[in-house]
Amino acid sequence: MIREATRDDLPAIIELLHEDVIREVDESAVAAAAYGDAFDEITSDAHQQLLVGEGGGEVIATAQLTWVRHLTYVGGLMCVVESVRVRSDLRGRGLGRELLEHVITLARGRGAARVELTTNAQRVRARKFYADLGFVASHVGMKYYLGGDR
C-alpha cells in the first residue's frame, strides 16, 4: 500500500535514507530535530508530497514528490521525484516499480507534462531500473554544492 507519510513514519523514513551507501552530506553534526522541521515543512507545502510504501504494517519504501509549474510545455506541470528508497532487504521484489508506477499515475491524474528525477551516476542498477520503467536519460544533470567538502 502506498500512502501519504505521517509524522509517525519519520523514524522509518530516516532509517531508509540511512541505508543508502552514497551519502550526500555528513550528518554527524546535524541535529535530529532538523528531520522533524524538514518533514513539517515538506508536508505543509501544497506543492510537495512525501509518500511511503507500507507492507506488513511497516514502512518499507519512500519517495518525495515536488510539483513544479514551468513556462515550458505551455505552463506545464512537472513532477520531480527525489529520495526514492526501498528497504534494502526487500529490493528486487517489484516494490520500487509499484512506487514509481503510483507516482506516474498521480502525475497523469494531475495533468503533469513530465515526471523527472535524477540519480547518482554511480547508481548503475538504479539507472537501469528507471530506464526499464520508461525514464529516458535525456538531460545532463549538474549540481553546485553550497558548502561542505564537495
User: What is the chain's pLDDT, residue by residue, as a tens digit (150 residues)?
Assistant: 999 999 999 999 999 998 876 755 556 556 678 899 999 999 999 999 999 999 999 999 999 999 999 998 899 999 999 999 999 999 999 999 999 999 999 999 999 999 999 998 889 999 999 999 999 999 988 888 887 655
121: in domain: yes
144: in domain: no
18: in domain: yes
User: What is the strand order of the sheet 114-117 is part of?
Assistant: 2-4, 48-55, 58-69, 77-86, 114-117
CATH number (domain holding residue 74): 3.40.630.30
93: in domain: yes
Measured between alpha carbons, how far apart are the two ends of the chain, in Å?
37
142: in domain: no
Alpha helices in 55-146 (DSSP H): 72-75, 95-109, 124-132
DSSP summary character for residue 113: S
138: in domain: no
147: in domain: no
DSSP summary character for residue 107: H
Tally of domains within the chain = 1
140: in domain: no
What range does the domain containing 80 cover? 2-132
- Calpha distance 4→35 (Å, rounded): 17
